[in-house]
Chain A
Amino acid sequence: MLTRRQFLHLLGGGAAAGLGGFADLRNIAAAADLNMKAAGEDYRALVMLFMFGGNDGNNTVVPTASGEYSQYAAGRTSVLALPTAQLLPLTITNTPGRTFGLHPAMSGMQGLINTGKAGIVANVGPLIVPTTKAQLRARSVPLPNDLYSHSDQQQQWQSSISDGAPRTGWGGRLGDLVAASNGTNRTSTCISVTGNNLFEVGTTLTSFKVSPGNQFGFDFYKGPTSTEPLSQGITELMAMNSGNLFEGAWKDVIARAIENQKILADALATATPFTTTFPNTGLGQQFQMIARLIRVRQALGLKRQVFFASIGGFDTHGDDQLQRQTELLGAISGAVTAFYNATVEMDVANQVTTFTASDFNRTFRSNGKGSDHAWGNHHFVVGGAVDGGKMHGTFPTMGVDGPDDTGGGHFIPTTSVDQYSATLAKWFGVSVGDMPTILPGIGRFPVSDLGFMKAVA
């Protein structure tokens, strides 16, 4: 593991030695090629992909065994049911007797699952404690606050806190924990390529926002050492103390933007391009930027990173649900697949794990056109370290008002967000002792490791 300073030192040392000869040149080249993984490099990154609005998981992963498909088709009716022929077959290895198909727009994801590079975690959602339908009916267990509300469920997924007003996210708390290992550029521990989010808010650390369009820097600012009056004025304005907290926050964002410009833009300039082609979509750009940032991790001296990407538009109440979900899932499949391929190209596929999250599932039953807000949902975990090709957790029974349905088609989660997060956190390197700090509610569930991540090699 090299820090940025060591990196520069190495380059300078080789040149200063001035010995010439092929051997020496080769040494310099090797040292400079930090875009490739160094032997034994200790690096891990988690990427949360948030699907804003509540993805209809019922049409994302569909049971295809005849009995279960019939229940699915009956419950969803002709309004929403996808024909079997369109579903992309999955070779799920751990659910004997139950077969599944993937949404037709997700061929890339299909390939990742069927080659064991991605897994599915079924029926995940916020819970305070394990909850059965009987307990729900009897109101004998506490339930998450404000179920079915977009804003609140988004926050619960991002914070893994469902019984209070969350001020930090679990990615931010992870960041607080590992920031020290990232040295001088610890502020790059949590990076969002899609704006502010609660997930990456820590107690001491907040995420850096990076433009997926590679837009760095103020056109009109020439840096803190410039003697040009306008630049000096900006530097001096930013250095002033403000008694007003809003003014302070305003300057803080500008200062961070300038820092961002200084550190990341310099580092990214050294990133070699990928052979992998990213799709020309908003999400494709976001994942390409994450890949580029991972590319320069060694120049920045980073060992642990948390990324946040997102795509919106999943709140499909209306009759454009099928069309819209096709577009959105297609974008996800394309971007995530390209991103996985880029991690392979960088030889860090086993070090980088992408996982999905969303407000909630949508009602199994239709409102006549689209579907409304529901609860437990199915998610993807992607990366070389994933125990892939499998259905983790418990896929619910499809029947309307069946054992998993609160009524009207809201599946009660059988896996909690806490457990889903804890499994990822453990892989990231969180010790048993630190786990309650990252996920305060994890102790209420019998299992904290769902096993969908392979042990770290």
Chain B
Amino acid sequence: MAIRSGISRATHRAGFALLFVSLSAFAQESDFGQDCKPVPVHVFTNLGNNSHFLTMHEPQRVFLQSSRPDYRYDGIAYHAYPTKALNSVGVSRMYSASANVHFYTASSSDKSAFKSRYPDAMDEGIDHYAPQGMGGGAVEIVRFSRPNGQAGTRFVSSAAAAQTLEQSGMVRDSISFHAFPPGMARAAMPVSRCEPGPVYRFMHKQSIATFLTPSEAEKKFIESNRPDYQSQGIAFYAHGPDATTTPGVNRFYNPNTQTHFYTSSETERASYAASGAISEGVNFAVQPPAKAIAADIAKVYRLRHPSTQRFLYAVSESERDNWIKTYGFKDDGALLTCLKVSKPSNSGTNKAPTVTLAAPAFLAITPASAKLTATASDTDGTIAKVEFYNGAVKLGETSTAPHEYNWTNIAPGSYAVMAVAIDDKGARGTSSTLPVVVAAASAVFSDSQKNAARLLTQATFGIKSQAEIDGVAASGVNAWLNQQFVLNWNSHVAYVDAAKAREGKAKEEHAYEAVWQQWLNEPGQLRARMAFALSQIFVISNIAPDLDTYAMASYMDLLNRNAFGNYRTLLGEVTLHPAMGYYLNMQGSKKADPVKGTHPNENYAREVLQLFSIGLYKLNTDGSRVVGSDGKPISTYDETVVKGFARAFSGWNFAGNNTSDPKIFDPAKENWLEPMQAWEMMHEPGTKQLLDGKLLPANQTARKDLDDALDNIFNHPNVGPFICRQLIQRFVTSNPSPAYIGRVAAAFNNNGSGVRGDLKAVLTAVLTDPEARSLTGITAPSWGKQREPVIRFANFLRGLNATSPTGRNKIWYLDDADEGLGQSPLLAPSVFNFFSPNYRQPGPLAAANLVAPEFQITTETSMVGQLNFFAKLVKNAAYGSGDTKLTLNLDALNTLAADPVKLVDALNLQFMNGLMTDSTRTVMLTKLAALPASKPVDRTKAALTLLALSPEFAIQK
């Protein structure tokens, strides 16, 4: 470490690579623990790079202040415990010599990250102990990094300080750990229970003097750098410096005699300082615990040499007598009383009591109160008292049964409580810790945040960050839409071309990959969602018959190209696209053959009417059915009309062939990229009965008949309500009100400039409608829709920042209901899509006369399949394998997971639009808090698994 010059004054200054020995062995059962309060942790700024140096050791502070002008003392950073306290976590110091930076963390993954960034980094051990969680006034210590990858970190304990750092350009990393604020009055600081730690002893071989330190780092430094010292191992055990509860042992260095001197006496302190010695501050403390018996006590004798005025510290009478005899030292009469061992020697005779604790796991009300109830028993005595702890903080105690404590005014946060029972002989038994979570009131997000999140949920394949939400909240809905409307898309055909060049041939899977590339990566999310919505109305599918890869890719390009265009253009391009031609058999359909008795193919004619444009019954603009005088709905067409359109659509086949040659019509050479062309001699010459009495005259060209027929469809009043209702269902809600459908259909009928069929105007109307944007309407039991399974999957991949080594994916067949999602783009079971816009889910939904399209593919079986799919995704934190393996980045969530409230709130906003109910919140917080805080990844994964099945995620509102 850089500050190792601490030993420079020719004596035993071992610098301050303080590697405090890990006291985890004492964490649960040591019975020499005693009440303790937090002590100051000092902060210095490394003036070379503006990075922080923290230490709780007084000798270190004194040395830095006096000898290292390159470090500026900034006062007390915060307060923490000097040795292992109940429910505390050790804060280690790392140091990189190459970067000249120190780094502090309580997390092993942080340590690994620092080590991988700076291979020369050394773990200098635990400097102090931080309380786990909030409580007793603890606050979050937030870590900041220097911008642009520069080395160095700073740690702040207040929002104001954080803001200052942010303004200065520092980058907020995360919450590091908790501690008590610098300005906190000592009296207000909570009392915890600390364990004793070892104190090491050395003898300087030439000068014959003792050096004592509680720091393993100092010990190691001396062992490896100072051969003039002889290690004598652990001298005794002592608590940390805590002047209010135990007598502190002050370390002095006397430059004249070149010796260290230790004392807990005020009088000696004063006189020794007056003799010219430098006080290095309190180093450790002595106070034998009440229950320690003689066998546990280490008496430390101080010996002074009459001529050198140097000191030796002997830990036994025989050692004392030997040194007096050998070196001529005299007994100085001053005696320190420390612990010989860390555990009491009588623990085998008096059995410790046992205690269990009951506490409410979750409190939703603030300010919250909790009754802690302990059940304690002692087999060989009686229970003297029971103490209650929140983390390291002692809440209170009671000596009367039933042993209860009423904990009141608990601030929101996550806590770990425990009880300690003490028997009549002073033996202690501890309960296991119980999580207690107190949630903030559920209105953690503003209405504008919720609505921005709702818009992004409705109109994208998943929210990537809270920043995205805040951006939309700031800019507003229309600004976001206008931004999206001008964004382009990457050609799916080009993707297939590239894949073909890479892999030697085009494969159907490439068409699916192109779809997912767009969904997962492209900024033009609204276009992608619209193209997907259109693909669920104008359905083609590779289930049967097999479609050409380029046919599918080119068709997706068509839908993207027309996503914000005009419905009439879209309908025309769809009709002549070879993929649709092949799928619904218009490609190759020819005029009637009286000899063979054949007729033009009716497939496309029927479905374009029933599914792509007007539907079976006449509709009012608000989507309700027109009713005849008999009270019954009125059919939009009959078989004559289907046959009429079939005739009007006859005579078309693949482009790039000689259309004057009837022999080439069937079979024609395939062309999957260009619109189909007409063979006039194959076109039905007679009249064609269309909708609403329109009759096409005989002998028009194929093109003229096609255009007239599509115009006839396009101008039918059903198109607006029929198409708009389905678009609302795909983006916003399954059961829009008639008024909502009417408003959107009105935009279809006239975009405000007299244009019919403007899909940009339609989409704007769908997403800006008061019904879509209202936060009050969504509380109605009938509001909402199930997020489609593939969209839920995309939400996870985008929301958890999935990336693959090549940037590509291999998301292919998700339609299997047993193992997949029961849905997959371009793989619908038929032209009727995966689900019908009119599907009724039996039960309360159907009883309320509501449709629930997505529930058609939601069965007891597909539910098992898809939830297992999500659980596996979360468990592996990845989808796929090899160079297209999409790996989820859970780092941010893992950092939040220390506090379940923070984790759940983050997921609430990003995946539930901030609409999580209190009851769901209660369940999630309780269960996450029940998982160990030391395993944040477990918490994150449990949270995501619960998220995947929770109604508030699955149902979009």
Contacts and interface: CB of A to CB of B under 8 A. Distances in A.
Q: Do A and B bind each other?
A: yes
Interface stretch (B592-600, B760-768, B887-895): B592-600
Contacts of B864: 211, 215-218, 257, 260-261
Interface string B572-600: 00000000001011001110010011111
B868 A219 contact: yes
B270 interface: no
Contacts of B503: none
A233 B840 contact: no
A254 B868 CA distance: 12
B602 A149 contact: no
A149 to B, nearest CB: 6
B365 interface: no
Interface stretch (A32-40, A103-111, A343-351, A367-375): A367-375
Interface string A146-168: 11111110000000000000010
Q: Which of A208, A324, A369 has the most CB of B within 10 A?
A: A369
B919 interface: yes
A192 B856 CA distance: 13
Contacts, number: 227
B691 to A, nearest CB: 16
Given A244-B957, A318-B545, A400 B597 contact: yes
Contacts of B545: 318, 320, 324
Interface in B840-860: 840-846, 848, 850, 852, 855-860
Interface stretch (B139-147, B450-458, B492-500, B926-934): B926-934
Interface stretch (B205-213, B463-471, B547-555, B779-787): B779-787
B942 A146 contact: no
Interface in A193-216: 195-196, 201-202, 206, 208-211, 213, 215-216
Range of interface residues on chain A?
Answer: 35 or more
Nearest to B585: A317
A281 interface: no
Contacts of B643: 408
B819 interface: yes
Range of interface residues on chain B?
Answer: 35 or more
Given A148-B639, A246-B734, A211 B817 contact: yes
Given A246-B734, A317-B603, A369 B588 contact: yes
A23 B165 CA distance: 87
A116 interface: no
A234 B949 contact: yes
A219 B927 contact: no
A239 to B, nearest CB: 9
Given A232-B927, A367-B600, A211 B818 contact: yes
A94 B589 CA distance: 41
B377 interface: no
Contacts of B930: 229, 232
Given A201-B842, A233-B923, A146 B598 contact: no
B528 interface: no
B758 interface: no
B946 A312 contact: no
B927 A229 contact: yes
B680 interface: no
Contact of B589 (A208, A219, A368): A368
A8 interface: no
Contact of A151 (B593, B603, B782, B832): B832
Interface string B886-905: 00000000000000000000
A27 interface: no
B927 A369 contact: no
Contact of A254 (B635, B863, B872, B931): B863
A250 B951 contact: yes
Interface in A209-262: 209-211, 213, 215-220, 229-230, 232-234, 236-237, 240, 242-254, 256-257, 260-261
A365 to B, nearest CB: 5
Nearest to A241: B919
A189 interface: no
Contacts of A202: 842
A435 to B, nearest CB: 23
B867 A317 contact: no
A210 B830 contact: no
B484 interface: no
Contacts of A148: 606, 639, 642
A59 to B, nearest CB: 16
Nearest to B782: A245
A366 interface: yes
Contacts of A210: 860-861
A62 to B, nearest CB: 17
A250 B606 contact: no
A206 B868 contact: no
Contacts of A383: none
A368 B924 contact: no
Contacts of B923: 233, 236-237, 240
A100 interface: no
Contact of A195 (B819, B842, B857): B857
Interface string A29-67: 000000000000000000000001100000000000000
Given A233-B927, A247-B955, A249-B841, A79 B596 contact: yes
A365 B784 contact: no
Interface string A249-293: 111111011001100000000000000000000000000000000
Q: Which of B786, B832, B861, B867 has the most CB of A within 10 A?
A: B861
B536 to A, nearest CB: 15
Given A211-B864, A246-B955, A253-B863, A229 B931 contact: yes
Contacts of A152: 616
Contacts of A243: 779, 781
Nearest to B603: A317
B830 A53 contact: yes
A152 B616 CA distance: 10
A26 to B, nearest CB: 39
Nearest to B875: A220
A244 B781 contact: yes
B441 interface: no
A249 B843 contact: yes
A71 to B, nearest CB: 12
Contacts of A252: 843
A218 B864 CA distance: 6
B871 interface: yes
A149 B637 CA distance: 12
Nearest to A77: B596
Interface string B825-837: 0000110100010
Interface string B532-545: 00000000000111
A440 interface: no
A230 B945 contact: yes
Interface string B775-815: 00001011111100000000000000000000000000000
Interface of B: 543-545, 582, 584-585, 588-590, 593, 596-603, 606, 610, 616, 635, 639, 642-643, 734, 779, 781-786, 817-819, 829-830, 832, 836, 839-846, 848, 850, 852, 855-865, 867-868, 871-872, 875, 917, 919-920, 923-924, 926-928, 930-931, 942, 945-946, 949-952, 954-955, 957
Given A229-B942, A248-B843, 6 more contacts: A77-B596, A78-B596, A218-B864, A237-B950, A368-B599, A370-B601
21 contacts: A146-B635, A195-B861, A218-B867, A220-B875, A229-B942, A233-B926, A236-B923, A237-B946, A237-B949, A237-B951, A240-B919, A248-B951, A249-B841, A253-B858, A257-B861, A318-B588, A367-B602, A368-B593, A369-B588, A372-B602, A372-B603
5 nearest A-B pairs in the assembled complex, by CB-CB distance: A247-B951, A233-B927, A209-B859, A317-B603, A220-B871
Interface of A: 52-53, 74-75, 77-79, 146-152, 167, 192, 195-196, 201-202, 206, 208-211, 213, 215-220, 229-230, 232-234, 236-237, 240, 242-254, 256-257, 260-261, 312-313, 315, 317-320, 324, 363, 365-370, 372-373, 400, 408
